[in-house]
Chain A
């Protein structure tokens, strides 16, 4: 195996092991999961019509929100649609799988907000801990470049987050399916990747890279706390553009224009919009990473 790959994979392997034993990622992902399930249990049935099993006969949805709903307890009551598109919308709204999926996604957003705020302070210790444990100078006597070191640390945190958040998402998905019935898994997976995983990875990137410039865990955590506004901003950008209700409004607008796959189109557009709001953060992260690497290398040359 190539030495560079061996070194980076070694850092990933042992850093993940240490994260597991330090319980940082476990706490983070566990907190996220407990939060989601707790919120879901507290809110209970969260369907659009608020009265659980009711059938939506007619609903007016525009950019201002749900303006009018006509519901019935009779599961066979006829739909009151003005056109085919609105009829399609109502069919989707009354589909138990769609409703379970939407219910799940509605609760997802506040959970993601808490997750994103918790990431920077909790993960900012990763590199400063090497200084705190006095291992950093030992690592500096090995033929390990700064770039490999940073990449290894970053990938270990990312991989840990992917695994931890995936487990949380799976458990939450099973819980919601148990309570509300089958969901649209593909919709849920896509939503989870774009709304939770990508912003979490971006923030974790900042939380690992920026504190590489300090030499104590306390300073690292303070930097992490200082990043909370960035977390809130990223959360606002992500959740603002990808929140569930606006998807519904857009779907309604598309349905009124006679576009048949209104929900799918609205959902895909929303995910793409959300990704486009995250791209600048990714570019900034890359720039910050390069800057930190350059500073570390310059420090090494002048120590």
Chain B
């Protein structure tokens, strides 16, 4: 269980990354979405013990992160995949994973070897296990990052943009791997790829401007857009600014638009079933309207 109360983080220069976030997260896959600068990475770095909050409290499985001992104990339960993963270029995959496993406190050599072998297989890197990491492609490095995060069977797994740089097959494979692992642990997944959330999380928050603007199931977020999603297929004119364009598809005869809002009759729009992405876009649109100064 992860508990956050009144979590605030301000950087020098008056940048407020988080503004009084209150969250309780249980076991399972938990999604974290929001636009750039919403505070997702700051929140994850606080949970990983890399940043201290300006105000508020965080407890990770009962360990208070405001104390040195609490952070130390919480780190023993943590697996972390940062957005920008760093590796030692002169080590190969097995050596790097072994090094990280040792630092994570895995003392038993045999247990380390077995787990490294199994993880390399899971992330499909067995064949490249003895190659130096400096020869790896971006996708391979992403996979090695995933493997290191899973070392030691962490109770809390924090993954920041884990599927960026992976090809579609690897993305599905990784999503399934995370889902399999979520049975008895907490996995905090931050991503811009809404599809990843919809396919794997049953609980999510949407952050915007450092605050939580939605908390619930992906289906609830999709439902929020019900009645506001439209397909415009006449292709003659581009939707005006009162509508939020979600996607456009080039057809043989014109363009098909997927929009949010209330198109007038000239568009001859037909209603569509909302997806999670529609729900997210609708929420962002509503939040933007709320934040806009009254005319």
Once A140-B50, A141-B49, A141-B50 are accepted as A-B contacts, the answer to whether A133 and B103 lie under 8 Å apart by CB is no
Once A141-B49, A141-B78 are accepted as A-B contacts, the answer to whether A3 and B86 lie under 8 Å apart by CB is no
- The answer to the question of B80 belonging to the interface, with a C-beta cut-off of 8 Å to chain A, is yes
A143 touches B100 (CB 8 A): no
Roughly how many angstroms separate A10 CA and B98 CA in the complex, as a whole number?
9
Q: Which has the most chain B C-beta neighbours within 10 Å: A2, A18, A302?
A: A18
Question: Secondary structure at chain B's binding surface: helix, strand, loop or mixed?
Answer: loop
Interface size on A, residues (CB 8 A): 28
- The answer to the question of A76 belonging to the interface, with a C-beta cut-off of 8 Å to chain B, is no
A144 touches B103 (CB 8 A): yes
A7 touches B80 (CB 8 A): no
Roughly how many angstroms separate A139 CA and B148 CA in the complex, as a whole number?
11
Question: Secondary structure at chain A's binding surface: helix, strand, loop or mixed?
Answer: helix
Q: How far is the CB of B188 from chain A (nearest CB, A)?
A: 13
B89 touches A133 (CB 8 A): yes
B91 touches A14 (CB 8 A): yes
B95 touches A17 (CB 8 A): yes
A138 and chain B: residue at smallest CB distance? B86
A295 contacts across to B, CB distance below 8 A: none
Q: How far is the CB of A157 from chain B (nearest CB, A)?
A: 16
**Total A-B pairs, Cβ < 8 A:** 78
Q: How far is the CB of A6 from chain B (nearest CB, A)?
A: 5
- The answer to the question of B21 belonging to the interface, with a C-beta cut-off of 8 Å to chain A, is no
Once A14-B91, A14-B99, A143-B72 are accepted as A-B contacts, the answer to whether A137 and B107 lie under 8 Å apart by CB is no
Once A140-B49, A303-B52 are accepted as A-B contacts, the answer to whether A3 and B105 lie under 8 Å apart by CB is yes
Q: Which of B80, B90, B99 contacts A141 (CB 8 A)?
A: B80
Scan A24-40; emit 1 where CB is below 8 A from any B CB, else 0.
Answer: 00000000000000000
B90 contacts across to A, CB distance below 8 A: 17-18, 21-22
Q: How far is the CB of A148 from chain B (nearest CB, A)?
A: 9
Q: Which of A2, A17, A141 contacts B75 (CB 8 A)?
A: A141
Q: Which of A10, A17, A138, A302 contacts B80 (CB 8 A)?
A: A138
- The answer to the question of A301 belonging to the interface, with a C-beta cut-off of 8 Å to chain B, is yes
Chain B: number of interface residues, binned into ranges: 20 to 34
- The answer to the question of B246 belonging to the interface, with a C-beta cut-off of 8 Å to chain A, is no
- The answer to the question of B104 belonging to the interface, with a C-beta cut-off of 8 Å to chain A, is yes
B47 and chain A: residue at smallest CB distance? A141
A7 contacts across to B, CB distance below 8 A: 102-103, 105
Roughly how many angstroms separate A279 CA and B114 CA in the complex, as a whole number?
47
A10 and chain B: residue at smallest CB distance? B102
Scan A1-13; emit 1 where CB is below 8 A from any B CB, else 0.
Answer: 1110011001100
Which parts of B35-54 form the interface with A (CB within 8 Å)?
48-52
- The answer to the question of A134 belonging to the interface, with a C-beta cut-off of 8 Å to chain B, is yes
A303 contacts across to B, CB distance below 8 A: 50-52
A18 contacts across to B, CB distance below 8 A: 88, 90-91
A301 touches B52 (CB 8 A): yes
Roughly how many angstroms separate A21 CA and B75 CA in the complex, as a whole number?
30
A143 touches B107 (CB 8 A): no
Roughly how many angstroms separate A251 CA and B194 CA in the complex, as a whole number?
83
A141 contacts across to B, CB distance below 8 A: 48-50, 75, 78, 80
Roughly how many angstroms separate A138 CA and B101 CA in the complex, as a whole number?
12
Which parts of A181-210 form the interface with B (CB within 8 Å)?
none
B50 contacts across to A, CB distance below 8 A: 137, 140-141, 303
- The answer to the question of A277 belonging to the interface, with a C-beta cut-off of 8 Å to chain B, is no
B169 contacts across to A, CB distance below 8 A: none
Roughly how many angstroms separate A18 CA and B87 CA in the complex, as a whole number?
12
- The answer to the question of A145 belonging to the interface, with a C-beta cut-off of 8 Å to chain B, is yes
Which parts of B66-110 form the interface with A (CB within 8 Å)?
68, 72-73, 75-76, 78, 80, 82, 84-91, 95, 98-100, 102-105, 107
B72 contacts across to A, CB distance below 8 A: 143, 145
Once A14-B95, A137-B82 are accepted as A-B contacts, the answer to whether A142 and B88 lie under 8 Å apart by CB is no
A43 contacts across to B, CB distance below 8 A: none
B154 and chain A: residue at smallest CB distance? A141
B95 contacts across to A, CB distance below 8 A: 14, 17
Roughly how many angstroms separate A142 CA and B77 CA in the complex, as a whole number?
9
B98 contacts across to A, CB distance below 8 A: 10, 14
28 contacts between A and B (CB under 8 A): A3-B105, A6-B102, A6-B107, A7-B103, A7-B105, A10-B102, A14-B91, A17-B95, A21-B90, A22-B90, A133-B88, A134-B86, A135-B87, A135-B88, A136-B86, A137-B86, A138-B80, A139-B103, A140-B49, A140-B50, A141-B48, A141-B49, A143-B72, A143-B73, A143-B76, A143-B105, A301-B52, A301-B68
Q: Which residues of A contact B (CB under 8 A)?
A: 1-3, 6-7, 10-11, 14, 17-18, 21-22, 133-145, 301-303
With contacts A141-B75, A303-B50 known, what are 7 further pairs, Cβ within 8 A?
A18-B91, A21-B90, A135-B88, A142-B103, A143-B72, A143-B73, A143-B105
Q: Which residues of B contact A (CB under 8 A)?
A: 48-52, 68, 72-73, 75-76, 78, 80, 82, 84-91, 95, 98-100, 102-105, 107, 148
